[in-house]
Amino acid sequence: MKLKRVLKRVLFFILFLIVFIFVNNSSFTMEERNGGPFLLAHRGLAQTFDMEGITAETCTAERIYEPEHLYIENTIPSMKAAFDAGADMVEIDVQLTKDGEFAIFHDWILDCRTNGIGTTRDFTMEELKQLDIGYGYTADNGESYPFRGKGIRLMPTLNEVLSSFPEKSFLIHIKSNGGNEGVQLAEYLSKYLDNRLSNLAVYGGDEPIAALKEEIPNMRVMSKKTMKSCLLPYIIIGWTGYVPSSCTNTQFHIPEAYANYLWGFPGKFLNRMEDVNSRVILVAGNGGWSEGFDTVQDLERIPKNYSGGIWTNRIDIISSLIEENAEKMK
């Protein structure tokens, strides 16, 4: 009899635990989140390219699709076009120059996209501005170069970008893995007021992000280490609703392939992260090579009524599709 009572109690506890986990992490127990997705435009309005077989050494400018617009990534015109198209935030890449400036440019070397040779840190900012950053783009294996001659003086500084868009939000990507670059970027950003910094987030390698976070503790940041330090313990105990302190003031780029492993995704998870001043961005596929939600078929995979962030390489297409869907739902 005692064994039966013990078994009943154990079964009751297990049943109670299952019900608690389900209710505590189900969206039907929460108020409906308002608003559509938060749109993050990768490199502004940029040329896209075939990602099949891509590696870290691939020159993506040499494999772009036939251009559908005239914008070159990481330029002020491309950022303006992205915001005009409906972007809530634009992702930009920063490279340190020889004279201590931060240039907005994706590649470590200049040879792929420009008519220069060497690395960005081999040149002063003024020397970099003389380069044609549209020089290397081709959609037909070099038979034509549609942007050649159109990118001179289009490489901006970080200060020029932030001054041009004083009310807008940016995600800054540190392309170096050196901790000292994180310190230098923190010093560079420290001249801006707190309300301006609140519209910025920074991601990159573990060392520069740790160094920057040390200097500016309240800034949202992301690296592999910050992601793991939050999400691994969250996967273990997040079913209780507890959010580890390591999740505070950060940003998460969650590959859609793994999103459903997170307790309460999407609604409860988004609420929990927002409560600790962290932002969630959903990226396409398994998160490799900046895959984005770029087509109508991609949007069909996003959870219904999702209001977190989504990463896109085609803000001009995605924003319009989301607006159309919102109108149909009215």
pLDDT tens per residue across span 55-110: 878 899 999 999 999 999 999 999 999 999 999 999 999 999 999 999 999 999 99
CA distance 273 to 71: 34
Beta-strand (E) ranges in the chain?
38-42, 89-96, 102-104, 169-174, 200-203, 220-222, 251-255, 279-283, 309-312
- Any idea which residue has 């929460």 for tokens? 30
Pairing of strands 102-104, 169-174: unpaired
pLDDT tens track, the chain, 330 positions: 677 777 778 788 888 888 888 888 887 766 666 778 999 999 999 999 988 888 878 899 999 999 999 999 999 999 999 999 999 999 999 999 999 999 999 999 999 999 999 999 999 999 999 999 999 999 999 999 999 999 999 999 999 999 999 999 999 999 988 889 999 999 999 999 888 999 999 999 999 999 999 999 999 999 999 999 999 999 999 999 999 999 999 999 999 999 999 999 999 999 999 999 999 999 998 877 778 999 999 999 998 889 999 999 999 999 999 888 766 655
DSSP calls for 119-138: BGGGS-HHHHHTSBTTTT--
Name all contacts of 233-242 with Cβ < 8 Å and 24+ positions apart: 234/262, 234/263, 235/261, 235/262, 235/263, 238/262, 238/263, 238/264, 238/269, 238/272, 239/21, 239/24, 239/25, 239/263, 240/24, 241/24, 241/25, 241/268, 241/272
Q: Which one-letter DSSP state was computed for residue 290?
A: G
Q: CB–CB of 285/255 below 8 Å?
A: yes
d(CA 39, CA 140): 31
At 40, which amino acid appears? Answer: L
In whole angstroms, how large is the CA radius of gyration of the chain? 22
Residue ranges of domains in the chain: 223-330
Global confidence as pTM? 0.93
Q: Do residues 142 and 59 lie in contact, with contact meaning Cβ atoms separated by under 8 Å?
A: no
Reported as a single tens digit per residue, the pLDDT across 173-193 is 999 888 899 999 999 999 998
CB 134 within 8 A of CB 153: no
| DSSP state letters, 78-145 | HHHHHHHHT-SEEEEEEEE-TTS-EEE-S-SBSTTTSS--SBGGGS-HHHHHTSBTTTT--SSTTS--
Distance of CA 217 to the CA centre of its chain: 20
DSSP state of 37: P
Name the phi and psi angles at 268, rounded to 5: -65, -40
- Rounded CA-CA distance 130/33 in Å is 48
Contact 243, 275 (CB under 8 A): yes
List C-alpha distances in Å: 299 to 88, 153, 309: 17, 36, 13
89 neighbors 312 (Cβ within 8 angstroms):
no
